[in-house]
Amino acid sequence: QVSTSGLHPTIWAGAALLFDGGHHRQAVQTAGQALESHLQTIAGPELAGQDLAKLFATGGDGIRVHFTELDPAGKTYTSAREGAASLIRGAMMGVRNLVSHPEWPDASESEALEMLAVLSYVAHLVDRAEVVK
């Protein structure tokens, strides 16, 4: 059972009234947009959608984030960064994008809550990371 009280405040703030009103698709759409905006506060507006996964890239230009509590030479560090990048891509492509297409079936209340939990976890994960200077 998932409780909305533990969802990331940015994700739940935009979705709460819609979700509680039974507008599950719109709640997830709004939460997806909130996640994208949340990530863009770090990355800047030039990155959007699945490209926000570049926040966890190990090279290249632009703003990057990493997990300071992990040893950069360790496998856990690599897994955490690659996993976080994959989760961002998945959240954008597999949640936000899908509910924005009318041909995608409406989610049940429980499925919409699961989608919100995915978006929330990504937001929490990014909040744990530090910007690489």
Please tell me the distance from the alpha carbon of residue 84 to that of residue 90, in angstroms, as a whole number.
10
Reading the block at residue 21, the tokens are: 């009103």
Give the predicted TM-score (pTM) of the model: 0.92
Please tell me the distance from the alpha carbon of residue 32 to that of residue 49, in angstroms, as a whole number.
10
The 10 Å CB-count burial string (b at 16+, else e) for 61-71 is: eeebbbbeeee
Burial class (CB in 10 A: 0-12, 13-18, 19+), 131: exposed
The pLDDT tens digits for 29-70 are 999 999 999 999 999 999 999 999 999 987 666 678 989 999
The pLDDT tens digits for 13-32 are 989 999 999 999 999 999 99
Q: How far is CA 71 from CA 1, 68, 74, 80, 127, in A?
A: 34, 8, 5, 11, 18
| Cα–Cα nearest to 33, from 9, 46, 15, 8 | 15
Reading the block at residue 129, the tokens are: 């990371």
The pLDDT tens digits for 68-89 are 999 989 999 999 999 999 999 9
* Mean of all residue pLDDT scores within the chain: 92
